[in-house]
Amino acid sequence: MARKKTTKKSSNRDPERADRNKRIMIGGAIIIGAGAVFVGAAMGIGELDRRAAEFIMSTNPPVVIDWPTDVQGTTWMPMIERERIQTQLARAVQGGKALSRAPLEEAGLALMRSGWIEGTPRVRWTSEGKIEVQAHWRVPVAAVRVGTREIVIDRQRHALPLDYNIGQSNQLYFVHVDARQPAIGEQWRGTDIEDGLELLFVLEEENLLEQVAGFDLGQGEKSGTIRIITTRNSKIIWGAGPGRERPGEVPTSVKTGRLKIFYEKTGLIDGGFQYIDISGPTMTKMRAEG
């Protein structure tokens, strides 16, 4: 847009500035990705508008976060975590200039460091002068017991910033995980936890999780042999992880079929036994764990 020529100072200057500032306040997206922030063209702000934005006083813009919800539309993230993230982002944007990229970049980086999101967030100014944040949130799916604590993880084994006393996480749990606890936001390594989660997903798909409390991944000579722990503290020896069956083990479909037959006959996936081995060609019922 060409600047209008003026021959002297006049009252036209203030309306022109007001009109320009009004255009500046049109919200446009700023996307943070791969360490780069794309400004200007994405916002539709011309060179004159960008120069004008530099004169806007520093401010502490409110941050609006699009929180994750379940299928009923209820926000499932604990209130204490939402407050923590909201505080971190508000602190990150303090003193930022309106429509400048710095507050958006700081808000995005703060959210990425939280351990709660996958990939990079989308951060933008709104027409009301607020900073709006959208992200792909990691969803808790289980917990790993480490000492006296339960560390919550997502479906890709990322350690989330949630840990509880034993039995307080309200999550399916894993015990005897080989790998060391990772930093928040990092993946838990090891094929044992990978196999344990794969079994959890198989049972979830087959609607067999209701009576499951957790999974014992084994240790010592029993390492790699998964035991399903039921809500009545019985143990079902499953064997190796789905798709990793050892010689002599029956396929996953046969194992889940056995659990379904137990449930149909007795109402219990363990068939009413305290210990049972469903991994081999012939099922074995035991009085004590073998």
Written as six digits, the tokens of 274 are: 């305290």
195 near 226, Cβ under 8 Å? yes
Find the domain containing 180 and state its range.
140-286
| The model's pTM | 0.76
Q: Could you tell me if 56 and 110 lie in one domain?
A: yes
The answer to whether residue 56 is domain-embedded is: yes
Q: Could you tell me if 76 and 111 lie in one domain?
A: yes
Question: Which residues are CB-neighbours of 7 under 8 A, at least 6 positions away?
Answer: none
106, 137, 168 — which closes off a domain? Answer: 137
Q: What is the CATH number of the domain that holds 212?
A: 3.40.50.10960
Q: Could you tell me if 181 and 247 lie in one domain?
A: yes
User: Could you give the number of structural domains in the chain?
Assistant: 2
10-residue mean pLDDT series, the chain (290 residues): 42 46 39 37 41 52 92 93 94 75 88 93 89 95 96 97 95 95 95 96 97 94 91 96 94 97 96 94 73
Give the span between the Cα atoms of 41 and 156, in whole angstroms.
36
Phi and psi, residue 59, nearest 5°: -150, 175
107, 137, 167 — which closes off a domain? Answer: 137
93, 115, 137 — which closes off a domain? Answer: 137
pLDDT (tens digit per residue) in 169-221: 999 999 999 999 999 999 999 999 999 999 999 999 999 999 999 999 998 87
The answer to whether residue 11 is domain-embedded is: no
Written as six digits, the tokens of 129 are: 């002068």
The answer to whether residue 186 is domain-embedded is: yes
Q: Could you tell me if 121 and 73 lie in one domain?
A: yes
Give 77-90 as a 3 state SS string.
CCHHHHHHHHHHHH
